Amino acid sequence: MKKILSLVLVSALGGILTLGAYKLFLEEEKTVVVTNTTPQPTFLPTNNINTTLKAYEDSDFTTAAENTVNAVVHVKNVSISSEQMTIQDLFFGRTPQQKQLGTGSGVIVDPKGYIITNNHVIKNSQELSVTLNNNKTYKAEIIGTDEETDIAILKINADEDLPVVSFGDSDNAKIGEWVLAVGNPFNLTSTVTAGIISAKSRDLTGGNSQSFIQTDAAVNPGNSGGALVNTNGELIGINTAISSQTGSYVGYSFAVPSNIARKIYMDIIEYGNTQKGVLGITAGILNSESAEEFGIDDTEGVFVSDVTHKSGAEKAGIKKGDIIKQLDHIKILKFEDLKGYLKTKRPKDIVNVKLIRDDELLNIPVTISNTDIFSVEFLKMELRDLSSSIKEKYDIPNGVIISKTKNKWLYNKLGITEGYIITKINNKKIESIQDISNLKAKYDDDFINNLESLAYINEYGEKKEVLFK
What residues are annotated to the active site? 120, 150, 224
Nearest residue to 96 via CA among 106, 85, 112: 85
Q: Which residues neighbour 162 within 8 Å (Cβ) at sequence distance 6 or greater?
A: 71, 108, 111, 112, 113, 132
Q: Which residues neighbour 133 within 8 Å (Cβ) at sequence distance 6 or greater?
A: 69, 70, 72, 73, 189, 190
Q: Which residues neighbour 249 within 8 Å (Cβ) at sequence distance 6 or greater?
A: 218, 219, 220, 242
DSSP-assigned states of every residue in 364-376: EEEEPEEGGGTEE
d(CA 440, CA 430): 13
d(CA 405, CA 432): 18
DSSP-assigned states of every residue in 216-262: -S---TT-TT-EEEETT--EEEEEEEE--SSSS-SS-EEEEEHHHHH
Residues 353/387, Cβ–Cβ less than 8 Å:
no
CA distances from 440 to 43, 158, 435, 447 (A): 68, 45, 9, 8
Nearest residue to 75 via CA among 239, 187, 220: 187
Residues 96/106, Cβ–Cβ less than 8 Å:
no
d(CA 176, CA 16): 62
d(CA 249, CA 272): 35
d(CA 237, CA 255): 5
Residues 322/283, Cβ–Cβ less than 8 Å:
no
Residues 390/421, Cβ–Cβ less than 8 Å:
yes
d(CA 149, CA 209): 9
d(CA 324, CA 284): 11
Q: What number of residues does the chain have?
A: 469
Nearest residue to 372 via CA among 433, 306, 317: 433
